[in-house]
Structure 1
Amino acid sequence: MNGQVADIKSTAVDRQLGGLATILSLLGAKSFEHEEYVARFQRDGFLYLPGFYSDVEIAEVLAATETLLAAGDCPVTVDSLESNQRHYWRHIRDVADNLSYKFNDLYLFEPAIRELAMGKRLSSILKALMGDKAVLCNSLSFAVGSQQPPHVDSLYMTPQTPNKLLATWIALEDVHSDAGPMSYYPGSHLIPRYIFADGSRHVIDSEMPDWHAYMDSQVKVRGLEQKTFLAKKGDVFIWHSELLHGGSAIDNPALTRRSLVSHYYCERDCRRLRSDLQAMHDGYWMRRAPAGVPCQPGDFTESSFPEANYLARYGDVAKAVRAGRVKSGYQHWLNDGCAEGRLV
């Protein structure tokens, strides 16, 4: 990435302020604490919470993740960071390098990950920033930096209500400057939204060169500076759906950058969409089918086929199974679904 890069590090002052906020919260000053967080978030487009999680909490999540991914019937899907192709992890883990993939929606399967992404303290802060209860709707687990070009999340996860989308980045280890740390532009959330040819704010791939040109010009006109987040293990970074951010280049491929990224919609929008919301602390997590994968008949036996996920994804198939017109989701997929291009 070009331009002057200013590093943000976990300074002693930051950590003292984080400790003070915790003390004030324990003394019943949570409202004051959250008002300060909201003011900073509205001004900067992000909120940095140093040392938010302990080494013990991080270790629990790393151990739970390892156990989940090693299970024989592991239900997790992954996306290649090189080709962007999606697979079931259990189909490729014997020949794949887990550093080359991002792991989708582990929160659906592992309570420890939900607790990290939607814990008591964090869910309370997200509620204050959202102005509504937050709903954990996806998670992405990385072992290395994404090296993703600068973007804003609302392009791809466009919320029904503008600005009602939040994201968190939780450091599962200390981040080295050569490991492709996260980069971002403070204040960029205030840039007026780009409107695509169809009148929406949702991405149209063919127009992305125009979007990038528009954002580059806005960054220059507003004098915004790119910064780099050199996180310490347990740090949390919350950002606005319109904050321009990305992943820096990895200068040392031997370095990892383990992290958990999560996204949140607001309760009001999710209720409108009739999402399946599971109460958790001061918010919710969304129960849904995992991301679908294009598969071939030889990829599954009847016992290994993710029957519940397939029926949850395709209501017409579930209805046919209940009516006795089809024996199972697996039989539907073998007979018709695969040929129709349905995902598993």
Structure 2
Amino acid sequence: MIDSFTDDQVEAFDRDGFLVLEEGLVSPRALDLLRERYEPLFQGSYETGVKPDEVNWIPGRDPEDRTRQICNGWRADSVIAAQVLSERTGRLGAQLGRYRGTRILQDNVLWKPPGTKAIGFHQDSSYADYLVPPEMLTCWISLHETTADAGPIEYVRGSHLWPKSPPERSQFHAPEDWLAPARAAAPDGEELDVVPVVVKPGGGSFHHGLTWHGSAPNTNALVARMALVTHMLPVEARFHETNVDLVYSRYRRHGDLSLDESFFPVLWDESGYRTPWLRELPALD
């Protein structure tokens, strides 16, 4: 298992805007436990009795060719929580972001069966203007071996150095041209250097909040790709005084801009602090 990054890996992250790790982010035991949670979650069976903040695909309601996505599945399932709230993920994210500590903003539970369509390219930090600072750093983990034709996450190398663009909403789910937003944002018509993340089960990647990324359709008839995402914030992040988010500003307390650890727990801090209730989560390693 990966516990820290080398100087060369940090340099690669700074240069490219992402870092791909072929394996070592999730233990073999955890992979089996996590895969078992996907079908119940997407069928609306919530172990904790709490519904996730966003359920973007419901069977019978939404087309079968859409990528299944749940946001903050950790609120609904303790096994998902144990992974996306892991101390290791928080520590690794802090190393790349040069943060003194990290807390979670949200997770994504992603399921992309054969035939599902693309996710449009976007910058995560474009959606963070309700936070101070308006940024995040993301860990993406694959629960299966990925292939380039199975629609894994893809990055535009070096695009974290481009300006921040407005949030992309209209062409996010199932766009025909998933690369169009990145092409439009490229400085002076710069050609896109698109890198698919091809890894073993338990491998994945970290990416900068301004790195353009998305995923192509899954055209592999054999791989129903599952992935888990942790979007992390610097530990000192707060709500913006006036800007709000349709979903996540519901957790802002009146007259208080701090992020409540019941909803945005601290994963790791250089002082050794970690939100105490995270000790109650099941051990996956």
| Higher RCO structure, 1 or 2 (CA under 8 Å, sep 6+) | 2
* Alignment of 1:247 onto 2:218: no
SS at match of 1:150: strand
For residue 66 of structure 1, report the CA deviation from its aligned partner.
Answer: 4.3
Confirm or deny: 8 A CA contact 2:107 2:230 kept in the other structure.
Answer: yes
Confirm or deny: 8 A CA contact 1:34 1:128 kept in the other structure.
Answer: no
* Alignment of 1:128 onto 2:112: no
1:47 is matched with: 19
Letter in 1 for 2:203: D
SS at match of 2:148: coil
For residue 176 of structure 1, report the CA deviation from its aligned partner.
Answer: 2.8
Alpha-carbon displacement from aligned partner over 1:281-330 (angstroms, at most 9, x marks no partner)? 51568x9xxxxxxxxxxxxxxxxxxxxxxxxxxxxxxxxxxxxxxxxxxx
Query: 1:105 pairs with 69, 72, 79, which one?
Result: 72
Give distance in 2, aligned partners of 1:271 and 1:150: 26
Taking a change above 3 Å as real, the CA distance of residues 165 and 153 of structure 1, as seen in their structure-2 partners, is same
Q: TM-score, normalised by structure 1?
A: 0.58
Calculate the aligned-residue CA RMSD, in Å: 3.7
Letter in 1 for 2:162: I
Give distance in 2, aligned partners of 1:96 and 1:211: 23
For residue 202 of structure 1, report the CA deviation from its aligned partner.
Answer: 5.1
1:58 is matched with: 31
2:153 is matched with: 182
Taking a change above 3 Å as real, the CA distance of residues 45 and 159 of structure 1, as seen in their structure-2 partners, is farther
Query: What is the percent sequence identity of the aligned residues?
Result: 20
For residue 125 of structure 1, report the CA deviation from its aligned partner.
Answer: 0.9
Give distance in 2, aligned partners of 1:213 and 1:257: 26
Can you give the 5+ residue segments of structure 1 that lack an aligned partner in the other structure?
1-18, 81-88, 195-200, 288-344
Query: 2:51 pairs with 62, 71, 75, which one?
Result: 75
1:325 is matched with: none
1:131-142 aligned at under 5 Å gives the runs 131-142=99-110
* Alignment of 1:230 onto 2:198: yes
Taking a change above 3 Å as real, the CA distance of residues 219 and 128 of structure 1, as seen in their structure-2 partners, is farther
Confirm or deny: 8 A CA contact 1:179 1:255 kept in the other structure.
Answer: yes
Confirm or deny: 8 A CA contact 2:144 2:201 kept in the other structure.
Answer: yes
For residue 233 of structure 1, report the CA deviation from its aligned partner.
Answer: 0.8
Taking a change above 3 Å as real, the CA distance of residues 255 and 62 of structure 1, as seen in their structure-2 partners, is closer
For residue 204 of structure 1, report the CA deviation from its aligned partner.
Answer: 8.4
Confirm or deny: 8 A CA contact 1:178 1:255 kept in the other structure.
Answer: no
Taking a change above 3 Å as real, the CA distance of residues 159 and 264 of structure 1, as seen in their structure-2 partners, is farther
Confirm or deny: 8 A CA contact 1:99 1:143 kept in the other structure.
Answer: no
For residue 158 of structure 1, report the CA deviation from its aligned partner.
Answer: 3.6
Look at both structures and tell me which one has the larger radius of gyration over its CA atoms: 1
Give distance in 2, aligned partners of 1:217 and 1:244: 13
Give distance in 1, aligned partners of 2:170 and 2:204: 31
For residue 188 of structure 1, report the CA deviation from its aligned partner.
Answer: 0.9
Letter in 2 for 1:59: D
Normalized per residue, which structure has more helix? 1
Give distance in 1, aligned partners of 2:267 and 2:35: 22
Alpha-carbon displacement from aligned partner over 1:87-133 (angstroms, at most 9, x marks no partner)? xx5xx579986975312211122232222223222211112223232
Query: 1:277 pairs with 239, 251, 261, which one?
Result: 261
Alpha-carbon displacement from aligned partner over 1:39-94 (angstroms, at most 9, x marks no partner)? 322111112222121221111222244455563767245213xxxxxxxx5xx579
Confirm or deny: 8 A CA contact 2:90 2:103 kept in the other structure.
Answer: no
Can you give the 5+ residue segments of structure 2 that lack an aligned partner in the other structure?
172-178, 241-256, 278-285
Q: Count residues in correspondence.
A: 238
Q: TM-score, normalised by structure 2?
A: 0.68
Letter in 2 for 1:215: A
* Alignment of 1:259 onto 2:227: yes
1:336 is matched with: none
Give distance in 1, aligned partners of 2:212 and 2:169: 17
SS at match of 1:259: strand
1:140-179 aligned at under 5 Å gives the runs 140-144=108-112, 147-158=118-129, 160-161=131-132, 164-179=135-150
Give distance in 2, aligned partners of 1:100 and 1:44: 26
SS at match of 1:135: strand
